[in-house]
Amino acid sequence: MPLIVQKFGGTSVADSEKILGAARKAIRAQQQGNQVVMVVSAMGKNTDMLIGLANEISERPPAREMDMLLSTGEQVSVALMAMAIHALGSQAVSLTGAQIGIKTDDTHTKARIKSISTERMQQLLDEGNIVIAAGFQGITDHFDITTLGRGGSDTTAVALAAVLGADACEIYTDVDGVYSTDPRVLPEARCVDQISYDEMLELASLGAGVMHNRSIEFAKKYQVPIHVRSSLSDAPGSMIIVEPESVERPVCGAAVTEKEALVSVLDVPDRPGVSLEIFSRVANRNVTVDMIVQNVGEDGKADISFTVPRDEIGITLEAVQEAIQQLDAGRITHDDNVSKVSVVGLGMAKQAGVAETMFAALGRENVNIQMITTSEIKISVLVERDSALPALRAVHKAFDLETAPPAAKATGSSSLVHAEADAADVVARLQGVDMEELVLDDISLDESQGRVTISGVPDIPGVAAKVFHEIAEANIFVDMIVQNRDSHEEHASLSFTVPREKVDDSVVVAGRLAEQFSCTGVSSCPNIAKLSVSGVGLRSHTSVAIRMFRALADIGVNVAMINTSEVRVNVIVDGDKGERALESLKAVFADVLR
Ligand code: ASP
Ligand code: MG
C-alpha cells in the first residue's frame, strides 16, 4: 500500500478548527488507499511563547531544560490531532519522538538525527491507524529529550519519509508553495511548479523561509520528493526534486538577507594557517560564516573579509580578537549596515553572462556593490542595507523571475519515478551511517583555469557590470568571481578565474577597463589550481571548510581565493601545489567520502 507523510506547520494547526481541517486531509488520504503518517508542529506561536517564558525566568536557560520545555508544544498538537481523527470516526495514535525512536546526538536545541526506528510506526499503520508523529524532537542515547532547531518539524517529516520509503512527503503550510523570492518582500514573486534540491538548499539557507534547510539536505541525500502546498487553498503547490523547473533559465530564485554584518581582518600575514586561525575560532562558537573574501596578498599582507548574521557579530568579534592576538598582527573593522542579495540557479553553471546581467541590473539602479562572491549556482553581492530592496527587485526583474519559464514542464511525474529508483540505492549506500552525518561525494582538482585581478577599483556603481560585460563580449567564460571592499581606501579589488588559455585576452580587456576607471593595476596568474569538495551538509557542518584550511595549512599551501555553498567548497591555490593539495584533502576526508 502506498505510504504518504503529511506535515502540518504551526499555522496549519493554530486552532481547533484548523486541527480538524488537517485531520480531514489525512483521513481523505487514507480513504484514497494510502497509509498516512502525519507530522505536526506546535500550535501557532506556541514555541515562541515557551521561549518567552523561559527567558522571563532566566537569561541563559540550560539547553537540556529548554528542550524539555519546547518539546511540549508538539506533544500538545499530536494529542489534539489524534483526538480530532477519533472524533471524525477514524483511528489514530499519537507518538512523541522518543516513542518513535528518533535517536539524536546530544547537541541540545540543535540536535542532529542519528537513526529512526520504523517498527512501531509500521505496525500501527498496518493495524489501520493514522500515525501522528511529534515534529522537531528526538531522544539521546541517555533518554534525554532533544529538539532539532527552530523549524525542525520539516526535518522530522522528510526523515520519516526517507526511512519509511514514503511515496510522497507533503508539507502543508500557509503559503501556496515555493516562491521565486519571498512574496512578503516582493509581491511580484512567482510560485514555482518545481525546484531542484540544490537550488532549494541555497535558497533555504539564504532565509527563503519556506523550509528548514536540514530537511532539504535529508531530501537530497535520501532522494525524497517533497510537495510543498497550502493547507488553506487547493493551489497545486511546488515540487522539490532532483531536476530544476527549467534548464534554459540561468536563475530560479533570488533572496535578500537583510541582517548581515561584515567583518574585515586587515593586515594579517599572508601565509598558510592564518585563515584557519581566524575561522576555526569563529566556528568553535557555532557561527556560520558566509561570503568569505580574501585579498590576493601584496607586500606579504592580506585582508580577509566575511559576513555573519548580524545578531552574531558580538561573539564573532570576540573570536577574531582572540585570533589576531594569537597572530600578533592585524586589526579588525566591521559594518552592521549591510545586506546580502543573492541569485540562485542550476542553469548558471553552464551559461555565460549571468553575473553581467545581475551586475548590470544593479548598476542601472545605482546600487553600489561592496562585495561579490560566487559559487557554481549562486551569486551574492553585499550592498548597503538601504539599497537591499531595490536591488532585489531589480535582479528579480532582470532574470524574468515573475514569469513562468517558456518550456515549463508539468510537475514532473517522470522525475519522481527516476528519484524513486535511485532512492533504494541511496538508502543502501548510506546504511550504517548516522542519518545527518556529513557525506562527501567528490573531491576534485581543476588545473584548467587562471586568475585575473584588478586592484584599486573605484567603489562606485557600475564597474563590475562593465568589466563582466566586456569579458562576456570577448566570449570568455568566467567561473569564480570575488570582489572585496578595500577598507584602507575607497577602493575594491576584483578577482576572477577564466580558462587558462583566455588569461591573456582577459588581461587585455581588464587593462583597458582599468585605465578607463583609473584603477591601480591588473595582475594575473595563469597557473592556479582549483580544489573542490562537494557533498551534502557542507555548510551546516561548518567543520568542512575548517578541515580544508587545516589540511592545506599543514602542507604549507596558501589559499588565494575561496567560495562556499551548501553543496561545495572551492579553493584556489598555487598551480604547482594542486596535486599535493588534492592528495592531502583526500586523506583528510577519507572517512566521509562515499
Ligand atoms: N515548533 C517548532 C518551531 O516553531 C518546530 C517547527 O515548527 O517546525 O520552531
Ligand atoms: Mg515551521
Q: What's the CATH class of domain 254-397+440-588?
A: alpha beta
> How much is the pLDDT for 296?
60
The four Cα atoms 168, 173, 178, 181 give a dihedral, to 10 degrees, of: -160
pLDDT above 70 for 518: yes
- Mean pLDDT confidence for 384-405: 96
pLDDT digits (tens, 9 = 90+) for 3-38: 999 999 999 999 999 999 999 999 999 999 999 999
| Domain 3-247+415-429 belongs in CATH node 3.40.50.2300 | no
**Total-model pTM:** 0.89
pLDDT band for 171, please (50, 70, 90 cuts). Answer: very high
Q: Quote the pLDDT of residue 417.
A: 40
pLDDT higher than threshold 70 for residue 489: no
**Of 456, 546, 555, 556, whose CA–CA distance to 510 is shortest?**
456
The alpha carbon of 58 is separated from its chain's Cα centroid by a whole number of angstroms, namely 32
Q: How far apart are CA 250 and CA 483, in angstroms?
A: 21
**Residue 450 Cα, ligand 2 centroid: separation in angstroms?**
44
Position 407 scores a pLDDT of: 66
pLDDT reading at 488 higher than 70 = no
Give the mean pLDDT of 457-475: 89
Q: Given pLDDT bands bounded at 50, 70 and 90, which one contains residue 512?
A: very high
SS (H, E, C) 154-207: HHHHHHHHHHHCCCEEEEEECCCCCECCCCCCCCCCCECCEEEHHHHHHHHHCC
Look at ligand 1, atom 6, and give the residue with the nearest C-alpha.
151
* 115 Cα to the center of ligand 1, angstroms: 20
Residue nearest to atom 8 of ligand 1 (CA): 151
Q: Is 460 helix (H, G, I), strand (E, B) or coil?
A: coil
Cα of 151 from ligand 2 centre, angstroms: 4
Chain-wide mean pLDDT for the chain? 90
| Ligand 1 atom closest to residue 136's alpha carbon, by position in its atom list | 5
Ordered by start, the domain boundaries in the chain are 3-247+415-429, 254-397+440-588
Q: For residue 444, is pLDDT > 70? A: yes
pLDDT higher than 70, residue 411:
no
Look at residue 418 and tell me whether its pLDDT is greater than 50.
no
Is 419's pLDDT higher than 90? Answer: no
Task: Give the tens place of pLDDT for each residue, 71-123.
Answer: 999 999 999 999 999 999 999 999 999 999 999 999 999 999 999 999 999 99
Report the separation in Å between the CA atom of 548 and the middle of ligand 2, taken as the mean of its atom positions.
33
Ligand (nearest to CA of 39): 1
With the most atoms of ligand 1 within 8 angstroms of its CB, the residue from 12, 71, 109, 136 to mutate is 136
